[in-house]
Amino acid sequence: MAAGEKQASGGAEQWGQTQAQDAVARDPDFPHAPEGWSRAAAEKMAQEDGLVLSSDHWEVFDALQEFCNRHECNKFSTRELHDALDERFHPKGGYKYLFGLFPKGPIAQGCRLAGLEPPRGAVDKGFGSVV
């Protein structure tokens, strides 16, 4: 690999690279965001996923970051987070609404874009592919 080139990777490694590039002071609209998370980094990763972020997406990022801040990050189950999101967004359609925003999964894709590590079991890298 030539100097200055980045190796393509996903998940936490990709976030770490983007985080290092786009690290800025905490966004006052996202008080529970992980250190170094930025809207620019989220927008860049969303664009790579084929998503155009709307105010609805930002609301979900805030909810995910707040949940992780109130609970020990990665010390909760996928089901706990699923139920919390479903309850919080119930007036808009709950989990069905969230899948409309995040077609790769509200927890897996939502956490990644919000700068959070998805809880264990949220990402199945072997599903539908060869590992």
Radius of gyration of the chain (CA): 15
Total-model pTM: 0.72
Residue-wise pLDDT for 7-53, tens only, equals 333 444 444 444 444 444 677 778 888 888 899 999 999 999 999 99
Residue-wise pLDDT for 74-117, tens only, equals 677 788 888 999 999 999 999 999 999 999 989 889 999 999 98
Contact between 89 and 97 (Cβ < 8 Å): yes
Residues 51 and 61: their CA atoms lie apart, in Å, by: 14
Confidence tier at 125 by pLDDT (50, 70, 90): low
Residues 87 and 80: their CA atoms lie apart, in Å, by: 11
Contact between 82 and 107 (Cβ < 8 Å): yes
